[in-house]
Structure 1
Amino acid sequence: MQLARRDLLKLLPALPWLSTSIPSIRPVPFALRFVVASDGHYGQPQTDFEKFHSDLVRWLNQEKLQKGLDFVIFNGDIIHDEPTLLYDAKTALRSLTIPFFVTRGNHDRVGADVWEGTWGYPPNHSFARGEYAFILGDTSNEKGEYLCPDVSWLRGELAKYSSKKGIFVFLHITPAKWTDNGVDCQEVRELLEKTPNVKAMFHGHDHNEDGGKMSGEKPYFFDGHFGGSWGTTYKGYRVVEVYEDGTWQSYQYNPTAAPIINTFVGKS
């Protein structure tokens, strides 16, 4: 007999992080299913960046066909330093059969006007899908500096979506010094962690991180990398599955080996 997902979660109150995923054949349907992929570094010298992108497009289009996929968020470092690569990177992603959104990383060294002219929205951006909201914050600039997000803007966006069932936040650079490449943004963390309907934060930047951290009872996720010259031994991405009963899970996906790792089970 299959357990309903809500009943299954009651059996795991102290074990949010699991090594494998809960089987996908569940009686509770998806409300949303999306992917976070980071650090494609389109154009980085001495890397096979065109293949990295074509592989990812193929994998994500398969996700859409096999399990369904609502959208993808590319969480920073779309390109590798050279501003003229931005249009080429966008072209490389045009074969995706699902919508996608982007955040600016420290290697996306273009101004806010160029960013908005390319993607159709500014570096600080948000959107909603049904009962859930998605906040994409800027953590760098044209110089490639490591920055904290604009806390005033972030506070306003969280207030705007206060009636939503859940909010997911995407910041290329982690707002904590958990890694060598993070930035200590205490005010940002406190704001996110005290907002009741914030479900999780997602970060790129640290190519060798594909798990997560907990702070203030909120998860902060990493997704390795799908491009670039260093990081985890595999190219992959993170999947988030939100269910109709308000529960959700996230796991890291490696398309070329034992595929599902670092699963987190979230409560409603």
Structure 2
Amino acid sequence: MSNRRKFIKSGIAGIAGISLLPAVNSFASPSGIYKAEGNFKLRFAIASDGHYAQPDTDSDKFYSDLIGWLNNEHQHNHLDLVIINGDLVHNRPDLLPKVKETYLDKLPVPYHTLPGNHDFADAAIWKKVFGYEDNYSFDFGDIGFVLANTATTKGEYVCPNNAFLKFALDQYAQKRIVFVILHIPPHQWMEEEKTIFVDCPGTVELLHKYPNVKAAFHGHDHSLDSVRYTGKLPHFFDSHFGGNWGTAYKGYRIVEVGNDYAITTYQVNASMNPQLNLNKF
């Protein structure tokens, strides 16, 4: 299956304080690597949907490629941290330690992970493997990150724990910037997304109450690599680096926070697949 849906449309609009750049074709050659310009307070990569052990896929290559891409990114542009936003494995939580030890521990910078619906993981599983639970927060100076699980151990889609979100967002109320990481977005933008996303109006309302929440980041839908909005809040997607469906290319998203707190984000076409926006009729 190349795509979950036959048709999808993204609502794209401008928003003050966040600059949206088009997909960057990086890593064509050592001399063709995109060079980030400027001085950054924070620069990080976010990737999702590795689906390790999905049948009939080369998931070891998916992970080897990702580690190579991000090591290259760090070598040429510098990364402060990496976030892997869900579906690290494909219905095999027993393989999470292997993914961690064989691949993720080889990342050149600190990394953070979050369960997706295919990880079949709860707080106990996540803490045993990664040392923290499935709902947690961390900060990088005056920039906060809030990560929350959106699935059950059976792979059912659920709204994030709003009590946890409120507690974490209250703790970070004085931060200049807060980013929220949710594998499955808490909003259905289109009728056909009723079986793909979850409708969580309470979560959306909560996120909108905090002016320092500047963006939410999601995985899950491998075919999305741009931005949707709830009100003025942008929700960014990062395509996929594994699995057997979605965008023709595999890649990740870069987020840069300048010394003036201006935010820039763009998607990287790391696999350099030239068939972007391919359609068959």
* TM superposition score normalised by structure 1: 0.87
**Cα distance in 2 for residues equivalent to 1:19 and 1:143:** 36
* Structure 1 SS opposite 2:106: coil
Q: Letter of the aligned partner of 1:74 in structure 2?
A: I
Report how far residue 83 of structure 1 moved. 2.1
**What is the count of residue pairs matched by the alignment?**
247
Going from structure 1 to structure 2, the CA distance change for 1:186 and 1:203 (only over 3 Å counts) comes to: same
Report how far residue 215 of structure 1 moved. 1.6
**Cα distance in 1 for residues equivalent to 2:83 and 2:17:** 30
The corresponding residue for 2:270 is 255
The within-5 A match list for 1:215-230 is 215-230=230-245
The corresponding residue for 1:266 is none
Report how far residue 93 of structure 1 moved. 1.6
Work out whether 1:214 is the aligned partner of 2:224.
Answer: no
The corresponding residue for 1:3 is none
The within-5 A match list for 1:59-98 is 59-91=69-101, 92-98=103-109
**Cα distance in 1 for residues equivalent to 2:235 and 2:68:** 27
The corresponding residue for 1:239 is 254
The corresponding residue for 2:37 is 25
* Structure 2 SS opposite 1:78: coil
Q: Letter of the aligned partner of 1:154 in structure 2?
A: L
The within-5 A match list for 1:142-157 is 142-157=153-168
Going from structure 1 to structure 2, the CA distance change for 1:20 and 1:72 (only over 3 Å counts) comes to: closer
Report how far residue 256 of structure 1 moved. 3.3
Match of 2:113 among 89, 99, 102: 102
Deviates more, 1:122-131 or 1:170-179: 170-179
**Cα distance in 2 for residues equivalent to 1:70 and 1:216:** 30
The corresponding residue for 2:60 is 50
Contact 2:18/2:265, CA 8 A, preserved across alignment: no
The corresponding residue for 2:199 is 184
* Structure 1 SS opposite 2:181: strand
Q: Letter of the aligned partner of 2:243 in structure 1?
A: G
Contact 2:21/2:264, CA 8 A, preserved across alignment: no
**Cα distance in 2 for residues equivalent to 1:230 and 1:196:** 36
Going from structure 1 to structure 2, the CA distance change for 1:19 and 1:235 (only over 3 Å counts) comes to: closer
Contact 2:20/2:265, CA 8 A, preserved across alignment: no
**Cα distance in 2 for residues equivalent to 1:15 and 1:129:** 19
Across the aligned residues of Structure 1 and Structure 2, the Cα RMSD in angstroms comes to 2.2
Going from structure 1 to structure 2, the CA distance change for 1:13 and 1:78 (only over 3 Å counts) comes to: closer
Q: Larger RCO: Structure 1 or Structure 2 (Cα < 8 Å, ≥ 6 residues apart)?
A: 2
Report how far residue 112 of structure 1 moved. 2.2
The corresponding residue for 1:166 is 177
Work out whether 1:112 is the aligned partner of 2:123.
Answer: yes
Going from structure 1 to structure 2, the CA distance change for 1:211 and 1:47 (only over 3 Å counts) comes to: same
Gaps of 5+ in 1: 1-11, 262-268
Q: Letter of the aligned partner of 2:72 in structure 1?
A: Q
Going from structure 1 to structure 2, the CA distance change for 1:13 and 1:138 (only over 3 Å counts) comes to: closer
The corresponding residue for 1:139 is 150
Report how far residue 194 of structure 1 moved. 2.1
* Structure 2 SS opposite 1:189: helix
* TM superposition score normalised by structure 2: 0.83
**Cα distance in 1 for residues equivalent to 2:19 and 2:126:** 37
**Cα distance in 1 for residues equivalent to 2:212 and 2:122:** 32
Q: Letter of the aligned partner of 2:108 in structure 1?
A: T
* Structure 2 SS opposite 1:94: helix
Going from structure 1 to structure 2, the CA distance change for 1:20 and 1:115 (only over 3 Å counts) comes to: closer
Q: List structure 1 segments (4+ residues) > 2 angstroms apart after TM superposition.
A: 12-26, 256-259
**Cα distance in 2 for residues equivalent to 1:73 and 1:153:** 20
Report how far residue 14 of structure 1 moved. 11
Q: Letter of the aligned partner of 2:264 in structure 1?
A: Q
**Cα distance in 2 for residues equivalent to 1:252 and 1:183:** 24
* Structure 2 SS opposite 1:191: helix
Contact 2:186/2:204, CA 8 A, preserved across alignment: yes
Deviates more, 1:248-257 or 1:167-176: 248-257
Report how far residue 210 of structure 1 moved. 0.3
